Structure 1
């Protein structure tokens, strides 16, 4: 099992290659890696939501709202990983209804995560390059409407998963799987279309938005005077590079898998290697859900301040609070990427 939209290789009549090696690999690798990602994703994204809502919910700026929605999307996505991990070992044992729910929930939050990354880049582009705070005063509800549009669009795009995902027993493997089963008369067209749409909306469009917005932000920072621009530029580069490294391998593997779907690639050894690549690279994509809290929240001084305030109220980890206070006193200016509270360059560090 890689991405829930991917078809089980056992269902392809044209593909006579065996997939036993990749199946055994999935049982060991996916179950272990999904468990790690599930734990890290729940803790990291859960902490972001907790800190943001408990300490900052009344004065959150536009980027903060997007970050909360991003953390929620990542949290819901990794919450489905235990189900796919168990499928890799035992097959699908949870019934038809949960199959449809888990697959659609996975797809909704994967789309939402990428769309929200694009929204964050646009928001920062407007607030830094044009010094426009578009979600202020009487227009402050625009950010909530933006998030509503994102979630609505993602739900609409997940309708095929709700319709076509089902549980099927595979006699050759003696297990049941939760996979998409499209109409037989145009099954191949459905598979190719969903693959292309996934690559366009999840990878290429967000990457284009990020490259355009952050490149202009870097130019603006380089022209500015009196700001700690080097840290901001390094973080911008880290955000883009992390997205590219996490998503590119899978999209290359998915494109090659689509070529096998079209029977352009028919070599069995190469097809089996693609199966391995899909398993490994999909896990790298999931890893991005665990890195988002670090890139978009934990690095910012604003989030650290809120976290320390929350910890100090509960009297937990006094050494962490004391260390943070000491660092803050010795620093003349804090690095606050996640805050977009003003419309100057200080909004990103």
Structure 2
């Protein structure tokens, strides 16, 4: 039975089993489509990286972040299925770190995609003067920022007595004073949730307003695609990341003993696990952004599929002629 070190409310054995089974089931469902979807997306996006400027660099980095997380899921599934971690302390902390790195990198690049498409639609002259190296520079700065921002998540776990029966969220927390805990909590919520959701909603509203005001833009396919792209970014954020950050805040409040009711703590722990699974599902939803709202992606994928079909037919005809 696990007990919150700062609370008198125990986490019952059935709750621990529920968390384990939930994570194993959800990760088992999303790992294959997430891996295949982002692998194909990365292949197609790399093929267009020199020809297309509109957010392709950000989309490529988004796919890289998702793919890195998908590659760590088989190890997570093993742990949640067999309740043991034979891969060592470093891999435990590294996979734990990748989860949050994927989440906040995804949020960052969704914000970048939304801003860029909104600005290019409202100020078309910026599109003609924009250079790919600007996006590359922004991505490098963004990765450095996210890498540093996510370091506290593994660093806050106590691994002095690490053993193969505990990993990820089951690792005990280090003792941190109240002021530092509140500061880190506020930074995660403001930088990872409040700021991004305001920006994405504002970009969606400004893009929609621009299309309503300008009939020429409204009749333009590019304008409608821009609105669809920004809307898809907003949907992914609201479905995958908004619920997690709401219950992340509530879960931390239970650790800080702000919420002391045991029934409420139990419900928060359960919903926190559910929303954590929702956050991982972004890796399956992100390829939908590339395919459904990006004409260039569909065209390239169609050309690739046609080429593979023709190659298969030619190979078969060659074999039959022999």
TM-score, normalisation: structure 2: 0.83
Name stretches of at least 5 consecutive residues in structure 1 with no aligned partner.
Answer: 1-7, 319-349
Contact 2:89-2:162 within 8 A present in 1 as well: no
Does residue 302 (structure 1) correspond to residue 296 (structure 2)? The answer is yes
Does residue 40 (structure 1) correspond to residue 33 (structure 2)? The answer is yes
What are the equivalent positions in structure 2 for 1:274-293 lying under 5 Å apart? Answer: 274-293=268-287
Tell me the residue number matched to 1:75.
67
Q: 1:156 aligns with which of 123, 148, 168?
A: 148
Return 293-302 or 206-215, whichever deviates more.
293-302
Q: Secondary structure at the match of 1:133?
A: helix
Tell me the residue number matched to 1:142.
134
Distance 1:57 1:254 in 2: 36
What are the equivalent positions in structure 2 for 1:43-54 lying under 5 Å apart? Answer: 43-53=36-46
What are the equivalent positions in structure 2 for 1:39-188 lying under 5 Å apart? Answer: 39-53=32-46, 55-89=47-81, 90-133=83-126, 136=129, 139-161=131-153, 163-167=155-159, 175-179=165-169, 183-184=174-175, 186=176, 188=178
Contact 2:66-2:102 within 8 A present in 1 as well: yes
C-alpha displacement of 1:269: 2.1
Q: Secondary structure at the match of 2:281?
A: helix
Distance 1:69 1:50 in 2: 12
Return 110-119 or 287-296, whichever deviates more.
287-296
Contact 2:38-2:287 within 8 A present in 1 as well: yes
Distance 1:178 1:236 in 2: 33
C-alpha displacement of 1:221: 1.0
Tell me the residue number matched to 2:245.
251
Tell me the residue number matched to 1:27.
20
Q: 2:5 aligns with which of 8, 12, 22?
A: 12
Tell me the residue number matched to 2:235.
241
Distance 2:271 2:143 in 1: 30
Tell me the residue number matched to 2:318.
none
Contact 1:247-1:284 within 8 A present in 2 as well: yes
Distance 1:11 1:45 in 2: 37
Tell me the residue number matched to 1:216.
206
Return 64-73 or 260-269, whichever deviates more.
260-269
Instruction: Go from structure 1 to structure 2 and tell me whether the alpha carbon gap of 1:305 and 1:210 turns closer, same or farther (over 3 Å shift).
Output: same
C-alpha displacement of 1:280: 1.0
Distance 1:20 1:313 in 2: 54
Report the number of matched residues: 307
Deviation by residue 1:203-251 (Cα, 9 ceiling, x = unmatched): 2211111111221111111122333566764664444234213223222
Distance 1:88 1:187 in 2: 31
Instruction: Go from structure 1 to structure 2 and tell me whether the alpha carbon gap of 1:135 and 1:91 turns closer, same or farther (over 3 Å shift).
Output: farther
Deviation by residue 1:10-30 (Cα, 9 ceiling, x = unmatched): 452434423322211122221
Distance 1:57 1:227 in 2: 24
Does residue 312 (structure 1) correspond to residue 303 (structure 2)? The answer is no
Does residue 227 (structure 1) correspond to residue 217 (structure 2)? The answer is no
Distance 1:296 1:243 in 2: 15
Name stretches of at least 5 consecutive residues in structure 2 with no aligned partner.
Answer: 313-322
Q: Secondary structure at the match of 1:152?
A: helix
Distance 1:272 1:188 in 2: 22
TM-score, normalisation: structure 1: 0.77
More helix by share: 2
Distance 1:146 1:170 in 2: 38
Deviation by residue 1:7-52 (Cα, 9 ceiling, x = unmatched): x964524344233222111222210111112112111111110112
Return 271-280 or 101-110, whichever deviates more.
101-110
RMSD: 3.0
